[in-house]
């Protein structure tokens, strides 16, 4: 089993690759049967790297730049918690910031489960185009 710092590093590398829109690199950190849930949206969980890509690629489409500011992180066994602020630069030099907590479960060196928790009204107020 990997130590706590290794599991945290794996989750951080995944997030950084996805934020940089390096989808192939990022998806390589996921297990083939991973499960991703964007909790506040109430959407069904997606399965596998293709499912994650189908959700995130359109979301990141209008962004010019993405930054993840890592605030706190902890690991217990194979579970990683990362509190962060997701910053998304849109057209006209407009930044949208969203506080997020991600929970990752790591198995055999890959992300098996990923859940993000955030306040839906916060992002919709800052980025109303998401519902257009």
Q: What percent of the chain has pLDDT over 70?
A: 98
Q: Which residues pair with 92 in a beta bridge?
A: none
CA torsion angle for 109, 115, 117, 121 (degrees, to 10)?
130
pLDDT digits (tens, 9 = 90+) for 32-76: 999 999 887 777 899 999 999 999 998 888 999 999 999 999 999
In terms of residue numbers, what domain contains 31? 4-131
Q: Per the confidence metrics, is the pTM higher than 0.85?
A: yes
Residue 97 sits in a domain of what CATH number? 3.10.450.50
Tally of domains within the chain = 1
The CA distance from 57 to 71, in Å, is: 25
Which pLDDT band holds residue 114 (cuts at 50, 70, 90)? very high
């Amino acid at each position: 089993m990997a130590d706590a710092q290794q599991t945290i590093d794996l989750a951080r590398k995944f997030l950084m690759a996805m934020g940089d829109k390096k989808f192939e690199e990022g998806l390589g950190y996921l297990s083939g049967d991973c499960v991703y849930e964007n909790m506040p949206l109430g959407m069904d969980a997606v399965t596998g790297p293709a499912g994650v890509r189908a959700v995130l690629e359109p979301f990141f489409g209008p962004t010019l730049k993405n930054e993840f500011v890592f605030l706190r992180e902890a690991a217990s066994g194979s579970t990683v918690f990362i509190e962060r602020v997701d910053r998304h630069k849109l057209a006209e030099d407009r930044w949208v910031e969203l506080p997020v907590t991600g929970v990752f479960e790591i198995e055999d060196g890959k992300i098996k489960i990923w859940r993000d928790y955030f306040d839906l009204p916060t992002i919709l107020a800052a980025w109303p185009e998401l519902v257009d």
